[in-house]
Amino acid sequence: MTAGGLLLDVAGLNVRLRLPGGVLHVVNDVDLQLARGETLCLVGESGCGKSMAALSLLRLLPRIASWSAARMRFEGADLAALDDRRFAALAGNRIAMIFQDPMTAFNPVVTLGEQLFEGFLRHRKGDRQAARDKALYLLDRLQVPAAERRLTQYPHELSGGLRQRLMIAMALICEPALVVADEPTTALDVTVQAQTLRLLAELQADMDLGLILVTHDLGIVSRMADRVSVMYAGQIVETGGRRSVFERPRHPYTRGLIDCVPVPGRPLANGRLGTIDGSVPMMQEGLQGCRFANRCGHATDHCRTAAPPVYRAAGQAWRCVLEAGAVPGAVPGAGS
Amino acid sequence: MTDPDMPLIELRHVSKTFRLRRGLFAPPAELHAVNDVSMRIARGSITAIVGESGCGKTTLARMLLGLARPSAGEILVDGTPLGVLDRRAYAARVQPVFQDPVSSLNPKKTVAQIVRLALDAHRIGTRAERAERVREVLDLVDLPQRFLHAYPNQLSGGQCQRVAIARALAIGPEAIVCDEPTSALDVSVQAHILNLILDLWEKTGTAFILISHDMALVEIMAQRTAVMYLGRVVEADDTARLFRQPRHPYTQALLSAVMTPDPACGLPDIAFSGIAPDPTDPPPGCAFHPRCPRAFAPCAAERPVLVEAGGRAVACHLHPAEGRTGSL
């Protein structure tokens, strides 16, 4: 992949949280690359930093957070160098966000129509009729019944599934190039979830949308992603194409995570699910060695003292020395 | 012990209706959260109740725990109606584990106090015996003894759920009702808790009633599964057979929506509309018919009864009565 063809090219992203007890390094040296029309899934468990990494792209981090990046380019422009005013012209326009909980992300006292139109009127300098046409088109594509009436309704009048579709419409109304979706279907029922993701994927294909999907759900990742980045304790520990990550995971954490999930029709070994023992280390400064070492069955003294380099082979990259010799052509990459 | 064939808990045509006030002058709407549910929970079994939000599974759990009274029908424990039983005696036999492990524990009490509460309330044993029992159940749920004097806010979500399970186990109940015990937890923590429930089930012979929306989880945990839709049981069967041959279109849809990690599959194609009906105004006939891909004429006209034959029950016009109607 050449850097010129990338929609989003982030390298060395760090996010720090200043807490009364000290500074937490919640995102460490994260790289994100995304081509137009591509889906990148950021997957990990709570506290791994996936949401913080995603929110930093839209400058939506909480006040106590600060971020820095060695490189942050979007559509060829330097995203990090933009002042707030110029960034505001991009946010909601070229980069949009879909939040997890549509109940809290919408304004409860403004009609859904007004909330949908707002971004369009602000960024596209179009008139209300154009905004309305665009909104109705999107609601139709998202199979929202009685779309006209929805525009006059308030968020609480809709079911969770419908609200989330309205949220998707709101994100897409300016035809962004990049959408960041943070657990977009976690609050929904399983049947509604599958449909919502399907509708989103259809629109994504039509609009050639780059999608960063933040989720904890490996099932969704295995069916939506073009590429997967697995996060653990603030770092991306493995990244690669969907099939290679699931069929040949290189990092013990990825493997452990996949084994934890019950799969219909797959008998359990000894009648029990796979587990990962131990817990995530506190993400303070000066963590030594591999962050997963305290939970890894294969960890050696070397793992506990020396941070593993990033190995790369066949489109996959991982931070674990175990697979270094096992994979022909695996070479430590420079830095991250 | 009584007759071994007698179910531990039996529900007979249990309903729960809530009256919702809609306004000052409007008549209250009736919400049939649970509607004519009959079910037998066998001793020492794991029974799952699955369905999506609003299907009545949590209301059913609350009735099983004695926290809500059925509007109609009765719940029998060892053949004795729940209404006749002393509440305290019933609580000693059926214990809860709730979804949110953090909010279901009293933040001002230590782990030892929380786990001991049921023993204190039921005045079981001496002080020393209770303390010993607390240590014993902490071992059972794999919590180190050093947590005895910790407060819930010092524990992780998974550890809190272990405390909740220990609290439920302390007085040696015959059944534990788990309402979505892992849906607030991460997958790696969920695996630990599910394994723990299986371990405890094998070690103690306690019956578990598992309320869940997750079909994949149900398959590995339960011997018997009941699927609920809009307050009614639409299908019940031995879990293995239910997954092999789901008969109700709703069960089939639920199964097709399970997204297991499989990079060879795309997104599932759900054959029905995702818009759930208003529970205060359920559709006539079969409540599922407006969403059902296989609905035909009788579905809108007549509500299918739950037909039981050979240990499996289904309420669907596609599977008309061959056997008798009755409880599961």
For position A180, what pLDDT does the model report? Answer: 97
Question: Which value does ipTM take for this structure?
Answer: 0.86
Strand B72-77 vs strand B80-81: parallel, antiparallel, or unpaired? Answer: antiparallel
Q: How far apart are CA B133 and CA B112, in angstroms?
A: 10
* A102 CB-side CA count, 13 A: 26
DSSP A150-205: HTTS-GGGS-HHHHHHHHHHHHHTT--SEEEEESTTTTS-HHHHHHHHHHHHHHHH
pLDDT in tens, A91-122: 999 999 999 877 788 999 999 999 999 999 99
When CB atoms are compared, the residue of A161, A245, A264 closest to B274 is: A161
Q: How far is A226 from chain B (nearest CA, A)?
A: 10
Q: How far apart are CA B63 and CA B321, in angstroms?
A: 29
- Token representation of residue A312: 């790369």
- In percent, how much of chain A has pLDDT > 90? 74
Average pLDDT of chain B is: 90
Q: How far apart are CA B98 and CA B103, in angstroms?
A: 9
Strand A178-182 vs strand A227-232: parallel, antiparallel, or unpaired? Answer: unpaired
Q: How far apart are CA B70 and CA B90, in angstroms?
A: 15
Q: Do B280 and B264 touch, CB atoms closer than 8 A?
A: no
Q: How far apart are CA B73 and CA A164, in angstroms?
A: 38
Q: Do A120 and A109 touch, CB atoms closer than 8 A?
A: no
Q: How far apart are CA B323 and CA A303, in angstroms?
A: 64
Q: How far apart are CA B277 and CA B293, in angstroms?
A: 15
- Which residue shows structure tokens 């003294």? A301
For position B323, what pLDDT does the model report? Answer: 46
Q: Do A211 and A227 touch, CB atoms closer than 8 A?
A: no
Kindly give the confidence (pLDDT) of every residue in chain B, 328 residues in length, as a single tens digit, with 9 standing for 90 and above.
456 678 999 999 999 999 888 777 888 888 899 999 999 999 999 999 999 888 999 999 999 999 999 999 999 999 899 888 888 889 899 999 998 888 999 999 999 999 999 999 988 899 999 999 999 999 999 999 999 999 999 998 999 999 999 999 999 999 999 999 998 888 989 999 999 999 999 999 999 999 999 999 999 999 999 999 999 999 999 999 999 999 999 999 999 888 888 888 888 887 666 667 778 888 999 999 988 989 999 999 999 999 998 889 999 999 987 544 444 5
SS3 B190: helix
- CA nearest to B256 within chain A: A191
Q: How far is B244 from chain A (nearest CA, A)?
A: 9
Q: Which of A50, A72, A289, A284 is nearest to A180 (CA)?
A: A50
- Token representation of residue A68: 């820095």
SS3 A95: strand
When CB atoms are compared, the residue of B198, B260, B263 closest to A263 is: B260
Run of H or E including B61? helix B57-64
Q: How far is A93 from chain B (nearest CA, A)?
A: 28
Q: Do A195 and B270 touch (CB under 8 A)?
A: yes
* A118 CB-side CA count, 13 A: 14
SS3 B236: strand
Contacts of B264 in chain A (CB under 8 A): 243
Run of H or E including B132? helix B127-140
Q: Do A189 and B259 touch (CB under 8 A)?
A: no
Q: Do B260 and A219 touch (CB under 8 A)?
A: yes
First to last CA, chain B: 23
When CB atoms are compared, the residue of A193, A195, A222 closest to B261 is: A222
Q: How far apart are CA A133 and CA A126, in angstroms?
A: 11
Which residues does chain A have with pLDDT short of 50?
1-4, 335-336
Q: How far apart are CA B271 and CA A189, in angstroms?
A: 15
Q: Do B254 and A190 touch (CB under 8 A)?
A: yes
B20–A contact, CB cutoff 8 A:
no
When CB atoms are compared, the residue of A159, A198, A263 closest to B267 is: A198
For position A335, what pLDDT does the model report? Answer: 45
B203–A contact, CB cutoff 8 A:
no
DSSP state of B223: S
Contacts of A201 in chain B (CB under 8 A): 267
Choose the mutation target among B259, B269, B275 for the interface with A, i.e. most A CBs under 10 Å: B259
Q: How far is A229 from chain B (nearest CA, A)?
A: 14
